[in-house]
Chain A
Amino acid sequence: MSDFIALLALGELFPRGILPYLIGGLLIGAGTAVIYLATGIIAGASTFLESTLSYVSDVPRFNQFKYVQSRDWRIVFTVGIISGAAVYAILFQDGIWTTDVQWWRLLGGGFLVGIGTRLGKGCTSGHGVCGIGSLSQTSIVNVVTFLTIAIGTAQLVQAIGVAP
């Protein structure tokens, strides 16, 4: 325990501090709250993937009523997310920022994220923020699952020497 406090004091658990994380989290919650209070909609980010596919695909799953009737505002929500991040970048970032994570990790990982979030009924925002906020047992199970597996996977990838 004293070691833990020593770590805290050294800031090793939070090398970038905690303030940007906390402010970011509160704003993510605030964005969700604005939409919810005004419209009653609990907006998750991953449904956009399937509802947008309904514009270009005849696959029955994408053309369910709940996707077709929500696909327009889901695009607006996503464009809002992109714009909000761009506003941050214009105000506080020195030019554009690009990742060093290799393209195949982004593509392959993204592919699995696309499958897993849609099969599992939600992602970090749907289950993680809104589901946990609703104290939904389904969401708690999902979040514990993806968090545990992601930690194991990331540490394994690091251990076999893939960086970044």
Chain B
Amino acid sequence: MSEVDRSPWFMPVVYVGGLIFGFGLAISGMARPEVVLDFLQFEDFGLLFVMGGAAVVSGITFTLATRYGDRAPLTASQYTRRVKAMDRNVVIGGTIFGVGWGVSGICPGAAYASAGIGNYPILWAIAGMFLGAYVQGYWRSTRSASTTTKQVASDSSD
């Protein structure tokens, strides 16, 4: 999908989708680290309904669109599912993310929503996320550069 193919409605629709997404995150309580920590500490299991409800809606949507849909109206892209390759990083990354989520009670989407409900201390978490994303990107870029110069088959992980 190149930018020239985008309909003028592309950005407004992405914005409205984000708006609904963020409104949902705020209602669900996930924008509050305390609610997430209560879940992880087995004091309130409500978060199961957030992840479950969201996955069911997206699952039905993906299934119907890939089966009966043709192409997305605003981009002419084909409907696909989200299937990423399995490798070691999926488990290592999930482990590091798990420790971070357990320490802070916050994940990326919820952090943006948290800023929206006025929770300015969440800027600590957002700053941390950018820093973490930068460190892993820097490290992986330098590592893949050095393996290329050694003419070792570079892994195309992403």
Total number of B residues with any Cβ neighbor in A under 8 Å: 123
Q: Which applies to chain A's interface (DSSP): helix, strand, loop or mixed?
A: helix
B89 and A106 form a contact (CB under 8 A)? no
Closest chain B CB from A133 CB (angstroms): 4
Are B97's CB and A24's CB within 8 A? Answer: no
Does residue A20 face the partner (Cβ distance < 8 Å to B)? yes
Closest approach, in angstroms, between the C-beta of B111 and any C-beta of chain A? Answer: 7
Complex-state Cα separation, A142 to B103, whole angstroms: 18
Contact of A62 among B3, B11, B113, B137 (CB under 8 A): B137
A36 to B131, CA, bound (A): 29
Q: How far is the CA of A83 from the CA of B23 in the complex (A)?
A: 8
Chain A residues lying within 8 Å of B96, measured Cβ to Cβ, are 112, 115-116, 119-120
Q: Does A2 contact B (CB under 8 A)?
A: no
Are A83 and B116 interface neighbours, CB within 8 A?
Answer: yes
CA distance A121 to B75 in the complex (A): 24
A–B complex contacts, Cβ < 8 Å, 25 sampled: A17-B46, A21-B29, A24-B27, A26-B53, A28-B25, A33-B61, A40-B77, A42-B80, A57-B134, A72-B11, A80-B14, A84-B20, A84-B116, A89-B26, A96-B118, A110-B126, A111-B131, A113-B129, A114-B130, A116-B99, A133-B57, A138-B83, A153-B102, A154-B102, A157-B103
The 10 closest A-B pairs by CB, nearest first: A80-B18, A120-B93, A114-B132, A24-B28, A109-B104, A29-B57, A25-B53, A96-B118, A110-B128, A153-B102
* B→A interface (CB under 8 Å): 1-3, 9-11, 13-35, 37, 40-59, 61-62, 65, 69, 71-75, 77-86, 89-122, 124-138, 140-141, 144-145, 158
